[in-house]
Structures are given as C-alpha cells and as structure tokens.
Amino acid sequence: MHPKRSVAARTVAARTGSALTGGALFAVAVGGLLAAAPQAAAADVSCPANVYKRTFYKNTSFSGTPARTDCDTAVGEKWAGAPASGIPSNNFGVRWSVTRDFGSGGPFTFSASATDGVRVYLDGVRKIDLWKNTGDTARTKGLNLAVPPGKHTVRVDHVNWSGAAKVTYTYAPRTSATYDRTKPLAPTGVKTAYDTKTRRTTVSWAANKEMDLGSYSLYRRAVGSGTWTRVTASTTARSHTDPFVNPDDRTPYYYEVRAKDKAGNTSSGSTDTVVRPLPDVGVLTGVYDKATHKVTLKWPLNTEPHFDHYTVLGNDKVEGRYDWVPLGTTKGATWTTAPVTADGETRHYRVLATNDGGTTTYNPDWLDASAANELWLDIPDGIAPGNAPALTLGRCAEGVQATATEYTPPPLRDYDGLAVERRAAGTEAWTQVLREGYNPRSAFATVSVCDPLPADGRTYEYRARSYDRAGNYSPSSPVETVTPGRD
C-alpha cells in the first residue's frame, strides 16, 4: 500500500456523504486518496455539497483528459512518490475545485503552502501564486480578502515537477469584530407548529449559510403590536418550543428568527411567520339566487393542521329580539341556506371556526359590518304590492282623462307610485301613459293624466297598477273602455 494511503478513510467518507458541511471549514491536517475510487473522467463524478472535486493529470499543464477523478474534503497532501496508480512521481498536476455558498460573505483569510507550484483562484481570479520549482522545500502565503455574498467557486492548482509533493490550502472567515462588520444573512425556512392542548408554539428554521455563525435568537410579538419579546437567546439549535402559553387560544402572534455571527454582528429578522391558534375564516361572501330563493355563502378553506370545523349562523328574530342562530356546521368552505323570502330586506350571516382544542371564533351578540367573517346581504325585493288601485275615466280637452286612486292608509302602503296603461281594443300590447309617484301627505294616493286621443271612432282599454321601489307591479284594476268622440 502507498505510505500516504493511511488517511484514505477521510476521502472515503467524502464519497459516502459524511464530508464536512454547513459552516465547517474544509481544512484538515493531511489528505489522502480514495482507495477504491474508480478511474473516471471529471464529468462522471458528482461530489457532496461543499466537498472538492479532485482531478489528477499526467502533466503540469492540466491538459487532456484527467487520469483520475475523485472527491476530497480538504486540500492537504504529502506524496513521497506517485500520488496514484498510473500517475508519474514527477511532472504531474492536481486540481481541486468546489462551489459553495459563502452566506453574507465578508473578510476571509486564504492560506496556501506547497512545494513547487500552487495557485489559488476565486471565481477564476488568481489570488495566490506560488509557482516555482522548490524541490522538497515548501513555501507558504496567506491573504486577507473580502468575499462577496452568495455562491463562489474556489480552485486550487498544484504541480509537482520533482521530488516530494506537499500542498495544503485552507480558507476561513475572520471572526474578529475589528475586521468583520458584515451582518449575517437573515434565517430562512421558518416553520411553526401550534399545539392546541398545551397552547404553545414550536418554531423551527433552516441552517444559516454563514461560515462564522455564532447563534440564533427567537422573537415573538402579538399581531397588532410593534414590540418584540425575545423568546430565547444564543442557541445553536434550530428548533425551539416557546414556553409562552396563549391565554385565550384566539390571539395570533408573529415569530421571527435572527442570526448572530462570531464577531457579534446580528442579522435582520427572518420573514415574520404568523401563528393563528384559531383558524382564520377569511372573507365571507354570498349571493342570492332569485330562482331558488336561497343564499349561497363562501369563504377560503382553512388548511391549518389544528382546524376542526366551521359553524354557520344567521341573525334572526327570536322571541321578539334578533339573535345569532346556528344554521349548521361544516368542514367545507360553502353553505347554502333554506329558501329566503324575497322581501327586499338585509340578511346577516356569520361563519365561525373551531380548532381541534374546542376553541371557537369570538362571537359577539351585536352586528359588526367591519368583520371579515360577517356578511350583510341585501335580498332583492320580489314581493309586489298587494292591492290594485281604482281607475276612473273621463273627458278632457285633448282626449281621455284617466285617474288612478289607491286607498291603503299611509302607514301600510307598500308601493312607491301608480301607473296608467292603455291599448287599442282587440290588441295585446299595453302602452304606459303615466308612471308617477304620489303625494305621501294625502289621505289616499292618486295620480291623473289627460291622454290625447283622436276622435276616430276607435275604442281603447285602460287599466291602473301600483308599483314599488324594486319595480314590482300590483295586480291591475278592472279594464275600463272608452271611445273618444262618443257620449
């Protein structure tokens, strides 16, 4: 066995997915080969996240097809002879490359040490250049630089012209507050789970991409309040159950997570995540069907895991007073009522939600036009005035004087005006010659019109009807006939 393969377990771990990840550094003391790695081209190897892809070349110009490709968790090698089977002891090249997320970026230190040649690149830009045949004597160079936020590619090229091959490379964030003033990225992937039995909330979040992460802090505030309360500080865990017990199971709260790095910089809060212990009904809407005389109510279907059912209520008169009366319960997001009289009145409906702990939406006795879960629906007036007016015909200078009169007492009137209609005897279509409101101060309602007609010997028919505000007409009066020009 090659004397340097005693550390092969480290690179084998890289191929089985147990490589250093998250905020851990790639640097280790020494490296090694994958003892059982197949001979493969670079394009055939896919390495775990944040693990280097390593390619061997039988030349120092990195040209042609790689002689070997594998994965490596760190750049740290000492080869006294050939680095792998089929590769010469001298005049060979090794290239490591990895693309990873640097989080918010900031100040980093790149450090390389090697015999013969080593070059370090960041996104294709050379940052360290030690490229000279040194035999068995290694040289070292460190570089402080600012790395932009986000994903970047690190590449390390090493050539060995002769003698032993030694190369190491590390990079790490500078965690001193003197140099690092870059805020960490705000945490992401915040999820909440509410327990209706304990009335407590558990919050979890994704791992932050910062390489110098120090801790997380969790905050809570009631919806409508601008004050945050710190729930927990300086935790490295990514899940926490808030010891706070929701007092009424109805008050919603926001939660957010903040990250802190080792230099003491604190991120902004994660996107506020609302916890509604009681499922929200949302906006209630409804329509009235003139054909069936039924009201269909709709609202957004709740998907909260602690949702149980809805209760639909109508505001009806009970024992002389209006009260909210349950119409039924449902797990769906729609409800159709029994037939409703088309009386032109306003109907009031409300939908409540109940969670699996038995708590229901607050249900006040009064009407609340601003409540999203309450609907005020105007029912169209489909009831016509009940009484037909009386009709009298007489003479006027231009033709026929038609007068309609309705004698219902003012407090009981259900109409807004009177209409007089006329047609030629023997025809079907009626022509409206008068549609007029009445004087409400009169003891009875009356309207009159002089209908100009020629004395041509033809006979005409007249009728009178009352109408309401919705355009409904009463039954018509008995038909009266007249022949202009005849006594």
**Has residue 178 been placed in a domain?**
no
For 317, how many CA atoms within 13 A lie in the half-sphere containing its CB? 1
Residue 234 sits in the same domain as residue 347: no
Domain count within the chain: 4
Pick from 173, 208, 229: which residue ends a domain? 173
Q: Which of 446, 438, 433 is nearest to 468 (CA)?
A: 438
Pick from 378, 403, 418: which residue ends a domain? 378
Q: In what order do the strands lie in the sheet with 253-261?
A: 229-235, 213-222, 253-261, 273-275
**Has residue 16 been placed in a domain?**
yes
Residue 21 sits in the same domain as residue 161: yes
Domain of residue 262: give its range: 191-275
Integer Cα distance of 169 and 157 in angstroms: 10
Q: ∠444-448-449 over CA atoms, to 5°?
A: 170
**Has residue 255 been placed in a domain?**
yes
Integer Cα distance of 410 and 226 in angstroms: 57
**Has residue 384 been placed in a domain?**
no
31 touches 75 (CB < 8 A): yes
Residue 27 sits in the same domain as residue 128: yes
**Has residue 338 been placed in a domain?**
yes
| pLDDT tens per residue, range 26-61 | 333 333 333 333 334 445 789 999 999 999 999 999
Extended beta strands in 62-135, E state? 68-72, 75-79, 92-101, 106-114, 117-122, 125-131
**Has residue 332 been placed in a domain?**
yes
Structure confidence at residue 22 (pLDDT): 34
Strands 139-147 and 106-114: antiparallel
Give the number of other Cβ atoms within 10 Å of residue 425's Cβ: 12
Which positions ≥6 away from 234 have C-beta within 8 Å? 214, 215, 217, 260
Residue 48 sits in the same domain as residue 145: yes
Q: How far apart are the first and last CA of the chain?
A: 138
- What is 179-242 written as a DSSP string? T--PPPPPP---EEEEETTTTEEEEE-PPP--TTEEEEEEEEEETT----EEEEEEE--SEEE-
Residue 354 sits in the same domain as residue 264: no
pTM strictly above 0.75: no
Residue 201 sits in the same domain as residue 167: no
Integer Cα distance of 303 and 296 in angstroms: 21
194 touches 306 (CB < 8 A): yes
Structure confidence at residue 73 (pLDDT): 96
Residue 123 sits in the same domain as residue 246: no
Residue 365 sits in the same domain as residue 433: no
Give the number of other Cβ atoms within 10 Å of residue 272's Cβ: 14
472 touches 385 (CB < 8 A): yes
Pick from 253, 275, 297: which residue ends a domain? 275
Quote the tokens at residue 473. 């007409």
Quote the tokens at residue 304. 């909260």
Residue 304 sits in the same domain as residue 374: yes
Structure confidence at residue 487 (pLDDT): 53
What are the beta bridge partners of residue 204?
Answer: 191, 239
Residue 101 sits in the same domain as residue 210: no
- Region for residue 296 given its phi and psi (left: phi exceeds 0; alpha: psi -120 to 50; beta: otherwise): beta
Residue 398 sits in the same domain as residue 326: no
CATH number at residue 433: 2.60.40.10
**Has residue 184 been placed in a domain?**
no
Q: Flag residues of the chain having pLDDT under 70.
A: 1-43, 486-487
Which positions ≥6 away from 339 have C-beta within 8 Å? 292, 293, 294
- Phi/psi for 192 (5° steps) reads -125, 150
- Phi/psi for 109 (5° steps) reads -115, 120
**Has residue 270 been placed in a domain?**
yes
Residue 139 sits in the same domain as residue 221: no
